[in-house]
Every structure is written in structure tokens, then in C-alpha cells.
Chains A and B, each alone.
Chain A
Amino acid sequence: MTELAVEAVGLVKTFGRLRAVDRLDLRVPAGTVCGVLGPNGAGKTTAVKVLATLLRPDGGQASVFGHDVVREPDTVRGRIALTGQYASLDEDLTAAENLVLLGRLAGFTIADARARADDLLAAFDLADSATRQVKNYSGGMRRRLDIAASIIRTPDLLFLDEPTSGLDPRSRSQVWDIVRAVVRQGTTVLLTTQHLEEADRLASRIAVIDHGRVIAEGTPGELKSTVAAGSVTVRLRHAEQRERAREILARVLNAEVELDPDPVALSTRIGGTDDPTALAAHTLFELSGAGVPVTDFALGQPSLDEVFLALTSPDAA
């Protein structure tokens, strides 16, 4: 049996009458990336704070590499690093000063902490802004610095709380690259996110949480297969044939067809099918036979978004 980096059993954290974390169970094997997915207010940040020894749980148990977060907080702290939702840095200090400070707190001598700060700033492309105060940093720079601060010493478990919220696409893919590099070095990552794409790209397992509880758990593929549906998207050469195409799709696929904002596109959700290839072939054959040229035909698995909405919608079973 592989070692568990995180094990939470029946974890509860309440704030007054609000049960932010409500009997949460979570197991993260060492060396993997676990994505914790959930809408705003689902309890993701609270759960991370409990696991990172910042909040004391009101019930249940949680351990990090076998060490209880309540009874052995200092041992746990020696093995983790946390990158919070908002940059956990001193805004008034420069980037270099922040890293030197955290390096010294990590146990480096002053000289070593300086050298370490220089190396990290260079690698994260912040060397040019090393002497600027963090409050003048852009969101992307700040986040990079924040992650740099988390790997001053290599943690065994890294908590990333919504690491890319509010970042532009380029900064976001930089953060993803960094996370992948950290994982290749054997660090376990627990990542919270609202972006399904992010969980899909980084995480080997995903736990979907809502109202403080895990409502689904599995690989991205397993989660997608829990929703027995997919989609077909068609683009036509001639916009004026869209009505005709709609009739054909509705008949062949036996489903409600939506007209997309793009005047040549239309799409439909389809129920589960054993043979999507045959379905696609049949649909294209019918369109072609009716003289409706198609420029693009896509048969999609349900997106994680659909999975997410299906799982978290109020009327979900």
C-alpha cells in the first residue's frame, strides 16, 4: 500500500452555524496531484487550512504523512508548504527581501538565504524586479513569487489554493509548468480550483466537493463517465442551411438541437451510446446525402464542466 500524503476522515469545521467542512473524507497518495474542485464557498480553502494546521478541526481526523494535524502540528509543518489564495507575502518588502526572510525562517544562514533567493528569482524570471516592493507586482508575478517562496525548501506536500485565480492565460500556463516541475521531483500537490480545465490538466485524481463534503471522487476520465452524455458540434459551410441541418440532426440523433451564436454552428447533447463512431458516421452520411456540406464535426466527451454542473446542481440525485 502506498503512503498517504493526506488522509482526512470525517473532517468537520464549523464557523458559528455554518458547517464549512462537513464530514469530509479525502485520501491523497504520496507523489500524486489531487485536485479539489468545487464552487465558491464549497469549503475548499477551509479544508486546506485545517490540513495545513492553520485551523483546528471541530471533528474528525486529519493526518499528513501519518502525522496528526492537531497532535503533531510542528512535524506536519516541517513537511508542507502553503500557497494561499492571496499571495502570502509581505507587500511592503521587496521580492528579494521576502525570499531572504522566508529562507532564514526555513533554516538557511543569511548568506545561503540570499543565494537561494537569487537563484529562485532568476529561475522565476523575477530577477529584474527583485528590488521592487511586492505591492507593485502584477498578479502573475506575485503568484510566481508566492510559489517560489513555497519551494525555498522542497516540501513533501504542497498546498496550492486556487493558484491561478485571476491570472491571464500566459501566467496561468507558467504556474502549471511550475506545478508539473515540482511534482516530477516527487512532491505531492493538493490543489484547489474552480477551473475544471486546470484540474483536468494537472491532477491525476479529482475530488469534487460541495457544501463541505466530497460528492464525487476519481480520475478525470472516471468522473466524466459518471455523466452518461456527450456532445456533437457541427459547423456548416453555408449558414442558410442551418435550419435544414437542424432537422437532420434532430431526427438522426433524436435530441434537442441548439443553434450556437456562430451562425454556421449548431450543437446537441447526446445520451450515452455504445458506439459513437457509428453514430458520427450515420450523422455525416445523412448530412452529406441532404447536400449540406460540413466544415467541422466534433464528437465530444462531456466536459468536466458538465460533470461539475451535473454533480453540484441543486436537483442532482
Chain B
Amino acid sequence: MTRPSGTGEATPASPRTGDLETLLLPKDRQPRRATAVAALRAMSWRSMLKIKHIPSQLFDVTLFPIVMVLMFTYLFGGAIAGSTDEYLQYLLPGIMTMSVLLTTLSTGMTINIDAKQGLLDRVRTLSIWRPAPMIGYLVADAFRYTSASLVMVVVGLVLGYRPAAGVLGVLAGIGVLVGFAFAFSWVWTALGLVLDTEKAVMSVSMAVMFPLTFLSNVLVDPDTMPGWLGSVVEVSPVTQLVTSVRGLTSGVWEGAALLWTTVYGAGFLVLFGALTIRLYNRQ
């Protein structure tokens, strides 16, 4: 490449075909097929770059969680637990779970937009490990979930949240939460590939998420609900998850809830993971 740079506007910028010919790699210099790990790393790198280029993506993992904690603590604290301080101990693990689960929604929309832009078409014609692009999205998402969780814990600590299990307990709780969110996100990747428009993805996922998160023990103890509702809420995956996170952060071993969380997580991962890969492979 001997051509000067910066000649942009003045001279007509036409690629030189001579250059182009030297640019095409001869057969013996072609790279070997990317390994699964290399493909996954490249796709994850790309998702992280998107966060860099669209920092507003981080609003929902910074601003949104802060607003949620403040709003629910002071709105319901007095009414539900008698004091905001006491309520915060109950609420924080729950509201953290709720926020992170709501954060998973954007995955479906991102994939839907990508599918329309054509990037997915190009990636699908590459000879790479097939699940790499889909998992790549979720790696960056796991980063977002972790950030959201940490932001909320910090806000909670400022407001008077004192987790009994200490740092390790909180980290364990966040670990379970992020792990579950990763598995759960496959629901949205599948949805993002099935539906036509990002608006449709948005409305369907909201319609699923709102009842799923509110009909749980995030905000109130299921014992206070009418019997039938309490039973429904008890079996909800969100309730199991919240109970697990609450247990881990407050130093209570919730074996059954942890087991159910794992079972639900594995179920989402296997079922919707398979569905996503199937949808991604061929339309």
C-alpha cells in the first residue's frame, strides 16, 4: 500500500485494481477455520464493543436499578414492613432479581435488529461453530447483569441494607442470579428470531415479564396473598430464584429453592437454547 492517505475529497477515490489483486489471499495463505473458542471470543468482543458505542445501553443497568430500589423502598416500605429499613433487608435481593430479569429483555430486541440489518445473514454464511454468535450476545449480557447487581447492592448498602452473609454471600447470590439470567435469556433470543419487529418483541416480552416478576415473592411474602395465588406464586421460577438469592445473601441455606432454580435454569437453557439454535440455523 504505497498510496498516500488523506487524499479523500480532492482526488476521485477509486480503489486500484492492482492493489486489489495483491490483496486477495492466495490459497496457501488462507487462515484455518476459527476454533469454537475463537469464534465465541470474537462474537463476545463485538457485543462488548456495542456497549462502548451505545453507552445508553447501560442506563438500564445503572439508572433503572437505582430508581427501582429507591421507589419500592420508600413507596412500600412503611406499608408492608412497618419501616423502610426493615423492608430493605427483605426487598433488596428481590428487587435486584427483578431488575436483572427485566434487563434480559433487551437481548431479544438486539437480536431482532441484527437479523434485520443483515449482519446475522453474513455470520450465518461463515464456517464457524454455530452457537457462537448467540452465546456471544449473552456473554456481554452477563456483564450487564453483573453490573446491575453490583449497582443495586451498593445503593442498598448506602440506604442501610446489611446482608447477614457478608461479601461472599452477596457474591454467591449474584452468581446464582447472573447464571439464571443467562439461562433465561435464551427465551428472548428465540423470541427475537421468531418475531418480525423489535416492537413486537418488546410487547410480547413485557407481557411475559410483568406478571412473571410481580406474581412472585419479590415485593411481598406469598403468605399474605389469597391461598390460590400464593400457591401459584410458590411454584414460579422467579420466586424460587428470589428465595435462593435471599437465602445466600442472608446466610440461610435454601436447598430446595436452589435445586428448583437450577432445574428451571437448566430447563430454559436446554429448551430455548435448542430452539434458538434451530431458528438461527435455517428459516
Contacts and interface: CB of A to CB of B under 8 A. Distances in A.
Q: Tell me if chain B binds chain A.
A: yes
B38 A107 contact: yes
A151 B23 contact: yes
Given A89-B119, A128-B8, 4 more contacts: A90-B119, A92-B50, A123-B15, A144-B15
17 contacts: A53-B124, A54-B121, A84-B118, A93-B53, A104-B41, A105-B126, A107-B38, A123-B1, A123-B15, A123-B20, A125-B8, A125-B13, A125-B14, A151-B24, A154-B26, A178-B17, A187-B24
Interface of B: 1, 3, 5-6, 8, 12-17, 19-21, 23-27, 30-34, 38-39, 41-43, 45-46, 49-50, 53-54, 114, 117-119, 121-128, 282-283
A258 interface: no
A76 B33 CA distance: 13
B125 A125 contact: no
A101 B46 contact: yes
B20 A93 contact: no
A133 B127 contact: no
A146 B269 CA distance: 34
A184 B127 contact: no
Interface in A116-150: 119-120, 122-125, 127-128, 133, 144, 149
Contacts of A87: 117-118
Interface of A: 49, 52-56, 74-75, 77-78, 80-82, 84-93, 97, 101-102, 104-108, 112, 119-120, 122-125, 127-128, 133, 144, 149, 151, 153-154, 170, 173-174, 177-178, 180-182, 184-185, 187
Contacts of A184: 21
A127 B283 contact: no
A127 B6 CA distance: 8
B117 A53 contact: no
A133 B49 CA distance: 11
Given A89-B117, A93-B53, A104-B34, A56 B282 contact: yes
A12 to B, nearest CB: 15
A86 B117 contact: yes
Contact of B125 (A52, A85, A128, A173): A52
Contacts of A120: 23
B55 to A, nearest CB: 11
